[in-house]
Amino acid sequence: MTTVEERLLPSAEPVCLIDQYGVPHDNPPYELPARETLLDGYTQLIKGRRFNEQASALVRQGRLAVYPSSFGQEACQIAATMVLREGDWLFPTYRDSVSIMSRGVDPIETLTLLRGDWHSGYDPYEHKVAPQSTPLATQLPHAVGVAHAARLKGEDTVVMALVGDGGTSEGDFHEALNFAAVFQAPVVFFIQNNEYAISVPLAKQSAAPSLAHKGIGYGVPGERADGNDLAGLLAVLGRAVEKARNGEGPQLIEAHTYRVQAHTNADDATRYREDAEVAPWLDRDPIDRLVKYLSENGGLDDAVRQRAEENAVRIAAQLRDGLMPEPEVEPAELFAYLYAEQTQQLREQAAFLRDELSREEA
């Protein structure tokens, strides 16, 4: 008979199927994904890395207001969407732009929020991707609500709810886990533990053995994975998604990764960490280890590399061309979509703005 501890507690060490040297490892019950799946993952990793680099460049050029990069965390970003079906939902945070793009959202629309034009530049229903959440963890109760509704309707939808390590210290995280467990909502809570909540290291915000251990208090099974190992992530997340889909309730997955770059362009990471801390993580790069494995085990030839690079170059060019022109904005729209019927206060504010703008034009 399976004990409660065996059912709920995560593994002692993060699951890793391909280490940083490209060497495969057995880690039952998880199996190495098929070579074709890993090649597809490689192509998406290259595209995701280029997306991160181009978006950061656009910030420096003043074309984006801000960009929280997932550089070095691309394996988490890509795996989170590769394990989903078309009818599943993704609930991203502000750092998950690569996940949003890999889900099929247009790259320009993906960055509209971070450009500062609109709250969200894409239709959430088209690709089943909720708007990016800037407040920490507030998207998690919404994700549980969507999953619970799908279950009540008899659908086999699974919701992938993304959150960072800092988000696990928020009340919404705990409320979402409790609600999901009580109602057996088909949600996979996916924590990308990159060791920092802006400038606060993990050791100063949590005393738990691991963030995946937090699930046991709510009756949610937890598991840990190497966040820079695409193969391990696909195996762990894929199993969690299928368990949720098969009626086994919510799952909690913690990926151990690292935020290689600063929190955003407005942050100076040298004020709170040393370069020597960052260096070992550069050697664990998710792309490098997958390249080493695929090069040794066949499939990653020059043709595949060239197609991946050409695809990434197209994405970068699309971002440059799409975000270079200044957007035409209509200030009155600030008030247009808040309520079906505007309040007296909003009408007064809108009138004040119109008056101010007319004075500038006069």
Q: What's the chain look like in SS3?
A: CCCHHHHHCCCCCCECCECCCCCECCECCECCCCHHHHHHHHHHHHHHHHHHHHHHHHHHCCCCCCCCCCCCCHHHHHHHHHCCCCCCEEECECCCHHHHHHCCCCHHHHCHHHHCCCCCCCCHHHHCECCCECCCCCHHHHHHHHHHHHHHCCCCCCEEEEEECHHHHCHHHHHHHHHHHHCCCCEEEEEEECCEECCEEHHHCCCCCCHHHHHHHHCCCEEEEECCCHHHHHHHHHHHHHHHHCCCCCEEEEEECCCCCCCCCCCCHHHCCCHHHHHHHHCCCHHHHHHHHHHHHCCCCHHHHHHHHHHHHHHHHHHHHHHCCCCCCCHHHHCCCCCCCCCHHHHHHHHHHHHHHHHHHC
**pLDDT tens across the length of the chain (362 residues):** 788 888 999 999 999 999 999 999 999 999 999 999 999 999 999 999 999 999 999 999 998 989 999 999 999 999 999 999 999 999 999 999 999 999 999 999 999 989 887 767 899 999 999 999 889 999 999 999 999 999 999 999 999 999 999 999 999 999 999 999 999 999 999 999 999 999 999 999 999 999 999 999 999 999 999 999 999 999 999 999 999 999 999 999 999 999 999 999 888 999 999 999 999 999 999 999 999 999 998 789 999 999 999 999 999 999 999 998 877 888 888 888 888 898 999 999 999 999 999 998 77
Q: Find where tokens 């909502």 sit.
A: 185
What pTM was estimated for this model as a whole? Answer: 0.93
Cα–Cα dist 54/353, whole Å: 36
Query: Could you tell me which residues come within 8 angstroms of residue 247 by beta carbon, excluding any fewer than 6 positions away?
Result: 184, 186
Identify the pLDDT of residue 326: 79
Reading the block at residue 30, the tokens are 């998880």
- Return the closest-CA partner of residue 188 out of 88, 97, 102, 261: 88
Phi first, then psi: give them for residue 192, nearest 5 degrees: -95, 95
Cα–Cα dist 347/350, whole Å: 5
Largest CA distance in the chain: 81
- Return the closest-CA partner of residue 72 out of 83, 91, 61, 56: 56
Q: Tell me if 282 sits within 8 A of 16, measured CB to CB.
A: no
Q: Tell me if 71 sits within 8 A of 260, measured CB to CB.
A: yes
Cα–Cα dist 170/212, whole Å: 15
Cα–Cα dist 275/278, whole Å: 5
Q: What is the pLDDT of residues 81-140, one digit of tens each?
A: 999 999 999 999 999 999 999 999 999 999 998 988 776 789 999 999 999 988 999 999
Identify the pLDDT of residue 21: 97
* Amino acid identity for residue 323 in this structure: L
Phi first, then psi: give them for residue 225, nearest 5 degrees: -145, 150
- Count of beta carbons in the 10 Å neighbourhood of residue 254: 26
Q: What is the pLDDT of residues 267-288, one digit of tens each?
A: 899 999 999 999 999 999 999 9
Q: Find where tokens 């065996």 sit.
A: 6
Identify the pLDDT of residue 119: 65
